Amino acid sequence: MASKDQTLPSLLVTLLFLLLFSALLSRISGLESVVDEKEKFSEDLLIRPLSDGKVLSHFYFKNYQRTLGSAAHTHVFPKAISQLVSKFHISELELSFTQGRWNYEHWGGLDPIASSNAKPSGVELWALFDVPLNQVDPTWRNLTHALSGLFCASINFLESPEGVASPNLIFESRLKSGADGFVRYGALPREAVCTENLTPWLKLLPCRDKAGIASLLDRPSIYNGHYHSLRVHVKRSGPERAVVLEQTLTIVLQPTQIREGGMKELPHWSLTSLFGRQLGGKCPVAHSSHVLLELEQSLVESVKASADKTGGKVTSGVDIPDNSVFHVSPYPEAVLVESLDSWDVPKFSSVMLEYDLEKYRSDQPLNLAMHWKQKMAWSSVRGPFRVSRFLTGSGNEKGSIAIEMKKNFNVSSENGDSSGGDLLEVTVFQMVPWYVRLYMHTLTARIDGNPVPLRDITTQMLVTPAEDRLHPAVLEMHLKLPRNMVSLSLTVDFDKGFLHIDEHPPDADHGFDLPAAFLSFPTSQTRRLYLNHQAADNKDSSLIQTLNEAGSLYVYTTILLVPLATPDFSMPYNVITFTCTVLALYFGSLLNTLRRRIGEEERLAKAGSGGKLKKAIAKFMEGKSENQKKLIKVSGVILVAAIGVTVSYVLEHFEAL
Ligand SMILES: *[C@@H]1O[C@H](CO)[C@@H](O)[C@H](O)[C@H]1NC(C)=O
Ligand SMILES: *[C@@H]1O[C@H](CO)[C@@H](O)[C@H](O)[C@H]1NC(C)=O
């Protein structure tokens, strides 16, 4: 009885303690949320079925740090990046590692994902520095070294000014927010990209690939794809100069069903079929974590048309996640529709299905899947122009580079194009290494096949001539083109330079890769405005916010392979083998002569087993004194040595010739 009386008060005390403790805990978590305001991490995955049956996956990780400095303590933001930004006074930086070629025709050209993630093959790096002009090049050099250490890549090859440009016009629209400073741009078209670059990139994420969206990154599936591009973008923005780090990985994969069952199979896919994994919840420190499935405008249009044909309900009543064409499972938490601000554009717009990863955990994972019920043909939104670059001419002496733009559709002022009147603006940036010697006076422009004077279409042109082994040639043009034109071609002639034998890469006969040319269309907007009315708690997907931002369209051409005259790399080999043969002969006979004892040979010759030569020698030696014999031997050796030396001298002489 007494013990029971005692338990009641002790229980009360425990309860009181628990209450106090929970109050304390909530205070602490309140503090944490205050701390979190200084840093914010969010993760998103956008999946988009492509019109050629492939699937685009875009991983997007955004990390925000409000203050920078030695006193700032970081929980989530990678220290390596904040140190890099403060040490090299970076205002903006973008580094991309890409393998494969973006298919602008089938994968889209006029959307924010394609515009900022379709990158040229290899490594591309550009940075805007907030330092005085005389400090820019040393800072760039140190930055390339730091980055190559950070990402395990040979970015340090960009330290020499031979492959670095300082562009002006092309970055004008990108850096429009009054950013001043100096830009440097470099590209390594031949750099191979693999897991050793992905692993350091993952290390910058707070959960690496252990939790959250990055846990899908299964190496064999990623590197099996048709295209993959790893990108790091750092920017300082706002009055407080907060650092925003965006890490993206864009992959185009072929769903396995097609590969197994032939082209007739429908392109069904699911997270497990694409990556071999499912999503078991978000990264615990992420502020928001979303998986988005984007359906393109023309797909939505076809789905609605098909629903109308099969006697479905009125057009607006089609259930996008489950209709007569495909079925998406599980059912999304939200369906966002792109809002088009102008009336003239088609009635159909792209649709985004949203899944919040907060609702999934490891015992109840998300395995997003899309099951097609019938084959559907649709097309992606293409950019206003199809851009290609090629070489003309043959032989190892000269040729010309041509950039050709062909119109995809009639660009009207309503079609996503805001300003510019009846003129279309294009900026072209091209960096050419010094060994391709451009003749700028041969630069000609043709519109629809007819030559036009350059001054009629260019508003600004900046040319930096190349200097041998010092600077590349850089050509930047700002063009204003008539809207009714169909094609434009720009050609410039060049001579191929000769490289020293040491300057050739190991497989020189492969040729040299010229970095991709880079075009921007400032009047074509790539914005996709998705408004989410449900997300009122500011837990909106940060990728959707990025898609909502206006930006101009960027297009890269492919890299160009230029064969250069190569020296005869087998010549040194021939000389070495020849000289070695002569030396071997010389030393062989020398040793032979020194080793043999003449007396014994005489004896053998007398025994009658020797050949004619030996007999002749024996006869010659007969009757000579010991001294005379020695003299004859030594002179024989000297004769052989002299022949050897003469032959090698003559050979050296020939090589020099
Ligand atoms: C670049 O690095 C070198 C060697 O570490 C250093 O001496 C130099 O001051 C650095 N320059 C800049 C501009 O950071
Ligand atoms: C573009 O416009 C021209 C005339 O303005 C017209 O003849 C042509 O058919 C149009 N092309 C497309 C693809 O709409």
Q: Interhelix angle for 598-606 vs 612-621, to 10°? A: 120
For the Cβ of 410 lying below 6 angstroms from any atom of ligand 2, the answer is yes
pLDDT at 31 over 50: no
Quote the tokens at residue 148: 């190559």
For the Cβ of 412 lying below 6 angstroms from any atom of ligand 2, the answer is no
Q: The dihedral of CA 236, 242, 243, 245: what is its sign?
A: negative
The pLDDT value recorded for residue 23 is 47
Task: Report pLDDT digits (tens) over 79-99.
Answer: 999 999 999 999 999 999 999
Distance 135 CA to ligand 1 centre (A): 10
The pLDDT value recorded for residue 4 is 47
Domain boundaries along the sequence of the chain: 33-382+527-556, 385-526, 570-656
Cα of 325 vs its chain's centroid, Å: 35
Q: Return d(Cα 520, Cα 273) in angstroms, integer.
A: 37
Distance 281 CA to ligand 2 centre (A): 50
3-state secondary structure of 459: strand
What are the CA-CA distances from residue 554 to residues 197, 342, 526 (Å)? 25, 23, 9
Mutate to test the pocket of ligand 1, among 136, 142, 156 (most ligand atoms within 8 A of CB): 142
pLDDT at 447 over 60: yes
The pLDDT value recorded for residue 114 is 92
Q: Return d(Cα 416, Cα 307) in angstroms, integer.
A: 28
User: For the structural domain made of 385-526, what CATH number should be given?
Assistant: 2.60.40.740
Mutate to test the pocket of ligand 2, among 408, 410, 413 (most ligand atoms within 8 A of CB): 410
3-state secondary structure of 558: coil
What are the CA-CA distances from residue 604 to residues 271, 332, 612, 615 (Å)? 88, 103, 12, 10
The pLDDT value recorded for residue 5 is 52
Mean pLDDT of 58-79: 84
Mean pLDDT of 437-461: 94
Distance 424 CA to ligand 2 centre (A): 16
Quote the tokens at residue 605: 């010759």
Cα of 285 vs its chain's centroid, Å: 28
For the Cβ of 654 lying below 6 angstroms from any atom of ligand 2, the answer is no
Protein residue whose Cα sits closest to atom 3 of ligand 2: 410
DSSP annotation string for 401-429: EEEEEEESS---TTSSB-S-TTEEEEEEE
Protein residue whose Cα sits closest to atom 14 of ligand 1: 139
Task: Report pLDDT digits (tens) over 355-386.
Answer: 999 999 989 999 999 998 888 888 888 888 89
Q: Return d(Cα 368, Cα 280) in angstroms, integer.
A: 12
424, amino acid identity: L
Q: Give Cβ neighbours of residue 326 (< 8 Å, ≥ 6 apart).
A: 303, 370, 371, 372, 373, 376
The pLDDT value recorded for residue 56 is 95
Q: Return d(Cα 286, Cα 305) in angstroms, integer.
A: 40
Mean pLDDT of 161-184: 81
For the Cβ of 135 lying below 6 angstroms from any atom of ligand 1, the answer is yes
pTM above 0.95, yes or no: no
Burial class (CB in 10 A: 0-12, 13-18, 19+), 523: buried
Distance 164 CA to ligand 1 centre (A): 18
* DSSP E strand boundaries for 373-486: 385-392, 398-407, 423-432, 436-447, 450-452, 458-464, 473-482
The pLDDT value recorded for residue 654 is 65
pLDDT at 229 over 90: yes
Distance 520 CA to ligand 2 centre (A): 24
Q: Give the atom of ligand 2 at the shortest distance from the alpha carbon of 410.
A: 1
Taking the C-alpha atoms of 502, 508, 509 and 510 in order, what is their torsion angle to the nearest 10 degrees?
Answer: -160
Distance 410 CA to ligand 2 centre (A): 6
Distance 466 CA to ligand 1 centre (A): 27
pLDDT at 175 over 50: yes
The pLDDT value recorded for residue 418 is 47
* Of the candidate ranges 335-339, 349-353, 424-428, the one whose mean pLDDT is the lowest: 335-339
Distance 106 CA to ligand 2 centre (A): 22
Task: Report pLDDT digits (tens) over 250-284.
Answer: 999 988 765 555 556 788 899 999 999 999 999 99
pLDDT band at 519 (very low <50, low <70, confident <90, very high): very high
Distance 146 CA to ligand 1 centre (A): 11
Mean pLDDT of 69-83: 81
For β-strands 55-65 and 242-253, DSSP reports them as antiparallel
Task: Report pLDDT digits (tens) over 295-325.
Answer: 998 898 888 888 777 654 444 557 888 888 8
Whether residue 330 has a cis bond before it, omega within 30° of 0: yes
The pLDDT value recorded for residue 392 is 92
Mean pLDDT of 481-500: 91
Ligand with minimal distance to 408 CA: 2
The pLDDT value recorded for residue 149 is 94
pLDDT band at 2 (very low <50, low <70, confident <90, very high): very low
The pLDDT value recorded for residue 70 is 60
The pLDDT value recorded for residue 621 is 76
Q: What is the CA radius of gyration of the chain?
A: 36
Backbone angles phi, psi at 74, to 5 degrees: -110, 140
For the Cβ of 409 lying below 6 angstroms from any atom of ligand 2, the answer is yes
Helices (H), 74-154: 79-87, 112-117, 133-151
- The winner for highest mean pLDDT among 247-261, 390-404, 538-552 is 390-404
